[in-house]
């Protein structure tokens, strides 16, 4: 089958929605990797905060996909394979294997790394604040009004 025609072979809407959310999460992860490579010359805090936002969306998509997927187990094709006692959220004679467990680990990974990128992005901002508050001799000095406004404007843009 070429392209996305395999979507037509999914047995019900729940499995279709689950595949959609899983694919969207994979797309977000790939985009995040590509953007991180392209933004190597950008400020670290910008890259980290962007990665954090993308990670949250990826985690939410994976959560939705993993929650919806078992709802599709009551399809006739799956019932023929796994026995008559198969229903929504009950697989009957079949069992959940490694792919579903890896998807759950992917959720935890996406959310943890998103939180880590958010924390590191904010620490990067604090580092810049400390750097701007010291002059060339290493002595602390106060901010001028223009420096404060410039820094606040640059943070609002992010």
Report the pLDDT value the prediction gives residue 112, as an integer from 0 to 100. Answer: 92
Predicted structure pTM score: 0.67
Report whether 14 contacts 72 (CB < 8 A).
Answer: yes
Query: Would you state the structure tokens that stand for residue 29, as one six-digit string?
Result: 């992860």
Q: Is the pLDDT of residue 147 over 70?
A: no
Stretch 32-43: mean pLDDT: 74
DSSP characters over the chain: --TTGGGGGSSSHHHHHHHHHHHHHHHHHHHHHHHHHHTTTS-HHHHHHHHHHHHHHHHHHHHHHHHHGGGGGGSHHHHHHH-TT-BTTB-TT----HHHHHHHHHHHHHHHHHHHHHHHHHHHHHHHHHHHHB-TTS-B-PPPHHHHHHHHHHHHH-
From 29, 33, 51, select the one nearest 103 (Cα to Cα).
29
Stretch 117-122: mean pLDDT: 81
Cα separation values, 4 from 7, 77, 156, Å: 6, 21, 40
Q: Is the pLDDT of residue 2 over 60?
A: no
Report the pLDDT value the prediction gives residue 6, as an integer from 0 to 100. Answer: 58
pLDDT in tens, 21-35: 888 888 888 887 887
Report the pLDDT value the prediction gives residue 72, as an integer from 0 to 100. Answer: 84
Instruction: Please give the Cα distance from 104 to 50 (Å, whole number).
Output: 23
């Amino acid at each position: 089958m070429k392209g996305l025609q395999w979507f037509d072979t999914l047995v019900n809407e729940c499995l279709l929605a689950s595949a959609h959310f899983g694919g969207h999460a994979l797309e977000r992860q790939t985009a995040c990797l590509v953007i991180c490579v392209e933004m190597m010359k950008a400020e670290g805090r910008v890259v980290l905060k962007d990665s954090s936002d993308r990670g949250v969306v990826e985690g939410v998509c994976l959560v939705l996909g993993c929650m919806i997927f078992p709802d599709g187990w009551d399809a006739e094709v799956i019932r023929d394979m796994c026995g008559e006692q198969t229903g929504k959220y009950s697989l009957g004679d079949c069992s959940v294997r490694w792919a579903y467990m890896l998807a759950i680990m992917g959720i935890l990974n996406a959310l943890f790394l998103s939180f880590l990128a958010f924390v590191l992005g904010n620490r990067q901002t604090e580092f810049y604040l400390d750097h701007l508050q010291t002059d060339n001799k290493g002595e602390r000095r106060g901010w001028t009004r223009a420096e404060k406004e410039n820094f606040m404007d640059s943070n609002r843009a992010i």
